Amino acid sequence: MADTDVSPFRVEVPQAEVDDLRERLTRTRWPVDQDLDGERGIPLSLTRRLVEHMAGAWDWREHEAALNAHPQVTTTIDGTRIHAVHVRSAREDAPVLVLLHGWPGSVVEFLRVVGPLAETAHVVVPSLPGYGFSGPTPTGGWTSQRMAAAVAELMARLGYDRYLVHGGDWGSRVARDLAVVDPDHVAGIHVTMVNGLEPADGGDERAAARATRYAEELGGYFKTQATKPLSLAYGLTDSPVGQLAWIAERFRDWTDPASDVLGPATLDLVLANVAVYWFTGTAGSSSQLYWERRAHPDDEWSRTVPTAVCVLPHDLRLPVRSSVEPAVDLVSWTELPRGGHFPAIEVPDLLVEELRGFVSKVWPGQ
């Protein structure tokens, strides 16, 4: 098989690894439950509840089957395996939509929206290099620009000449870079974050307050992953509770409280997302993007590729229109009434409606 071949793929975690995860969870060495004031991280009581559920009623095979219900592919690009969910619409001439996750997301993040979107579009959901089934990467140097080039090559190998891109978190940055590195094929991008376009004064009151909270309370993970990702990887790769707590805290802090993502409706999906990191051993390789960003801080937005921005009221950072509009070809600006950093999990109905509206604006014939 040549490196350029695209091959069918199925997620098949060996039963011994599933059993090992459960056994490790039941042998957790817990910290002492101290009486502490203030917010100091994810509480012990919450973490215990999540671990008890993951080691008990939660079933990885259910989520593995949900992934395998969709066609998936792998191919080798730039020396690493690239994985993607690839669902073709029944309509041959349908638009093509790429969905890009970030950290701590994965392709699991989009399981609630792939089916509805595939009713009217061909849908491609790559695992970013170093994440999930596209990892671990064998080398460093995987900047968002290099990831964008890999996604562009993936789309060419899948036979698509034109495509649209949606991204959140790092996926927003990769979408931005795709518009720069592959403008002849990217028909438009839709993002929930506008990295590099945040106003120096914080912009409006809501955005400034959110930026202040991030800087003072929520940004510790970024500093660690941007400076010492390898040191962090040992604990997260060896301890499933460490990996679970590190990711679950982001879902707790970055989402709409009304979404209750760690509640009964979506907890199992969040745990499946955690399990993808655990089974693929990508805690370390996924964190490297933070280090690469610090070493390669270039920001560039296309002024010609149509760009849509979707603002979630409880997202980690809030875009400010007055800073975005002069820098891009802004074709749509939507402020949703609810939702946070993970809209495909929190408000899948609103995201599907929003993306269909975006497609209708920038894809001829829709």
Q: Is residue 206 one of the residues assigned to a domain? A: yes
The residue segments making up the domain with residue 152 are: 42-362
Q: What percent of the chain has pLDDT over 70?
A: 99
Write the CB contacts of 232 (distance below 8 Å, at least 6 apart in sequence): 224, 225, 283, 284, 287
Residue 321 lies in a domain: yes
Cβ atoms of 113 and 351 within 8 Å: the answer is: yes
Closest of 321, 204, 192, 247 to residue 51, by C-alpha: 247
Arithmetic mean of pLDDT, 65-77? 98
| pLDDT tens-digit map of 82-128 | 999 999 999 999 999 999 999 999 999 999 999 999 999 999 999 99
CB of 256 within 8 A of CB of 314?
A: yes
| Count of the separate structural domains present in the chain | 1
Q: Give the bridge partners for 314, in sequence order.
A: 340
By DSSP bridging, strand 329-335 and strand 306-311 are parallel
Q: How confident is the model over 353-365, as pLDDT tens digits?
A: 999 999 999 998 7
Other CB atoms closer than 10 Å to residue 252's CB: what's the count? 16
Residue 1 lies in a domain: no
pLDDT band at 69 (very low <50, low <70, confident <90, very high): very high
pLDDT at 251 (0 to 100): 98
Query: Strand pairing partners for 125?
Result: 85
Stretch 172-196: mean pLDDT, rounded? Answer: 97
Question: Mean per-residue pLDDT for 315-340?
Answer: 96
Residue at 13 is within a domain: no
Q: What is the mean pLDDT of the chain?
A: 95
pLDDT at 163 over 60: yes
pLDDT reported for residue 23: 98
pTM of the model: 0.97
Q: Is the dihedral of CA 66, 176, 316, 323 positive or negative?
A: negative
Q: What is the pLDDT of residue 1?
A: 56
In a domain, 228, yes or no: yes
330 backbone dihedrals φ, ψ, rounded to 5°: -80, 115
Among residues 257, 275, 261, which one has the least CA distance to residue 344? 261
Q: What angle do CA 248, 261, 265 make, to 5 degrees?
A: 130
Peptide bond into 136 cis (omega under 30): yes
CATH number of domain containing 282: 3.40.50.1820
Q: Decide the pairing of beta strands 96-100 and 80-87.
A: unpaired
Q: What pLDDT score was predicted for residue 152?
A: 98
User: What average pLDDT does the segment 321-338 reach?
Assistant: 97
**E strands present in 111-223:** 122-126, 163-167, 186-191
- Give, in order, the Cα–Cα distances in Å from 318 to each of 176, 199, 200, 276, 321: 17, 11, 13, 28, 10
pLDDT at 165 over 90: yes
| Cβ–Cβ < 8 Å for 117, 92 | no
Q: List pLDDT tens digits, range 220-239.
A: 999 999 999 999 999 999 99
Confidence of residue 204 (pLDDT cuts 50, 70, 90): confident
Q: pLDDT at residue 296 above 90?
A: no
Higher per-residue confidence, 199 vs 343: 343
Order of strands across the sheet that contains 122-126: 7-8, 72-77, 80-87, 122-126, 96-100, 163-167, 186-191, 306-311, 329-335
Question: Per residue in 234-288, pLDDT tens?
Answer: 999 999 999 999 999 999 999 999 999 999 999 999 999 999 999 999 999 999 9
Whole-number pLDDT of residue 198: 85
Examine residue 341 and state whether it is found in any structural domain, yes or no.
yes
- For residue 85, tell me if it sits in a domain: yes
Q: What is the pLDDT of residue 2?
A: 64
What is the pLDDT confidence band of residue 17, given thresholds at 50, 70 and 90? very high
CB-count exposure of residue 172 (10 Å: 0-12, 13-18, 19+): buried
